[in-house]
Amino acid sequence: MQRILTATLVLSLGVSQAQKVDSIVIGVAVAQTSNTALLGQEQVIGAKFAEKYLNARGGINGTPFKLVFQDTGGDEAGAINAFQNLITKDRVLGIVGPTLSQQAFASDPIADRARVPVLGPSNTAKNIPQIGDFIARVSAPVAVVAPNAVKQALKLDPKIKNVAVLYAQNDAFSTSETGTFQETAKAQGLNVATVQKFQTTDTDFTTQVTAVLNSNVQLVIISGLAADGGNLVKQLRQLGYKGLIIGGNGLNTSNMFPVCQQLCDGVIIAQAYSPAQASAANQVFVKDYTAQYKKAPPQFAAQAYAGVQVMVEALRVIDRKKKLNTWELPALRVELNRQILAGKYNTPLGPISFDKEGEVNQAEFYVAQIKMKDAKTGSFVYLK
Ligand code: 1QQ
Q: Among 315, 272, 354, 337, which Cα is nearest to 46's?
A: 272
Cis peptide before 297 (omega within 30 of 0): no
Which atom belonging to ligand 1 lies closest to the Cα atom of 176?
9
Sheet holding 244-247, edge to edge: 191-198, 162-168, 219-223, 244-247, 268-271, 366-372, 378-382
Q: Is the pLDDT of residue 32 over 70?
A: yes
219 alpha carbon – ligand 1 mean position (Å): 22
Fold of 2-140+279-362: Rossmann fold (3.40.50)
Q: Considering the chain, what percentage of its residues have pLDDT values greater than 90?
A: 95
26 alpha carbon – ligand 1 mean position (Å): 21
Cβ pair 234, 263 in contact under 8 A: yes
**pLDDT value at residue 74:** 98
**pLDDT value at residue 79:** 99
Testing ligand 1's pocket by substitution, the residue of 101, 176, 178 carrying the most ligand atoms inside 8 A of its CB is 101
Q: Which residues lie across from 271 on neighbouring strands?
A: 366
Contacts of 348 (CB under 8 A, 6+ apart): 273, 277, 279, 281, 282, 285, 286, 297, 302, 305, 306
238 alpha carbon – ligand 1 mean position (Å): 27
Residue nearest to atom 4 of ligand 1 (CA): 250
Residues with CB under 6 A from ligand 1: 39, 99-101, 122-125, 173, 249-250
Size (the chain), residues: 384
**pLDDT value at residue 7:** 47
For the segment 203-230, the average pLDDT, to the nearest whole number, is: 98
For the segment 313-341, the average pLDDT, to the nearest whole number, is: 98
Fold of 144-271: Rossmann fold (3.40.50)
For the segment 248-270, the average pLDDT, to the nearest whole number, is: 98
ipTM of the complex: 0.98
**pLDDT value at residue 18:** 60
Confidence band of 19 (pLDDT split at 50, 70, 90): confident
Q: Considering the chain, what percentage of its residues have pLDDT values greater than 70?
A: 95
Q: Could you report the per-residue pLDDT of 65-101, keeping only the tens digit for each?
A: 999 999 999 999 999 999 999 999 999 999 999 999 9
Residue nearest to atom 7 of ligand 1 (CA): 124
Q: Could you report the per-residue pLDDT of 136-188, keeping only the tens digit for each?
A: 999 999 999 999 999 999 999 999 999 999 999 999 999 999 999 999 999 99
Q: Which residues lie across from 328 on neighbouring strands?
A: 20
Q: Phi and psi for 327 in degrees, rounded to 5?
A: -90, 155
Q: Could you report the per-residue pLDDT of 196-209, keeping only the tens digit for each?
A: 999 999 999 999 99
For the segment 312-333, the average pLDDT, to the nearest whole number, is: 98
Burial of 363 (0-12, 13-18, 19+ CB in 10 A): exposed
Confidence band of 1 (pLDDT split at 50, 70, 90): very low
Q: Where in the chain is the domain with CATH 3.40.50.2300?
A: 2-140+279-362, 144-271
For strand 219-223 and strand 244-247, is the pairing parallel, antiparallel, or unpaired?
Answer: parallel
